[in-house]
Amino acid sequence: MKQINYLERVTVFFALLLVCLTTSFQGPSLVYGQEVLRGLDLSEVGFLLRPGDFHKTLVARAMKQFSDAGLKLGEEDMYPSIRLSLRSEESKHCKDIVFYQPKLELLEEVALVRSGHKRIVTTWFYGQEFGYETKPLSLADLQNKQDEMLKVFIDQYKFLNAQK
């Protein structure tokens, strides 16, 4: 009887630990596709911030960050395009919890070698491959994440396109 009670407690403990770990784990931020930035003319690259909270403020901040780095982007609605997503969605099951998946992508039109068909694909990526649950995010939280993500892009771009 004592052994069964102990096993039940251990099982419940590990089940709760698993739930806590899976709901709070953000996972690593992934970066791939750095080489595609070499030779990219940013004046021919659009920028799109997916709609969400504080949209206008975040777009203005992003444009300033590119400008401060001495980089000029093209029109908003064109390809290639830098797409930033900082959207969060309310959890359907938990109060005061949001589902958040920050990511920054470079989308480009590429032609498939076999068929010649053209597709829009992600050629550079930084962010969370999978979303995670967190408390609702403030403007400062979103600005910090945006600054971090754009800094990675800008630093890689400048490194691969150093002016001689």
pLDDT score of 88 more than 90: no
> Is the omega angle on the peptide bond into residue 80 within 30 degrees of 0, that is, cis?
yes
**Per-residue pLDDT tens digits for 70-84:** 999 998 778 999 999
Residue in 140, 131, 141, 146 with CA at minimum distance from that of residue 25: 131
Residue in 86, 80, 19 with CA at minimum distance from that of residue 52: 86
d(CA 100, CA 76): 24
Mean pLDDT of 13-30: 43
Name the pLDDT band for 47 (thresholds 50, 70, 90). Answer: very high
Name the pLDDT band for 7 (thresholds 50, 70, 90). Answer: low
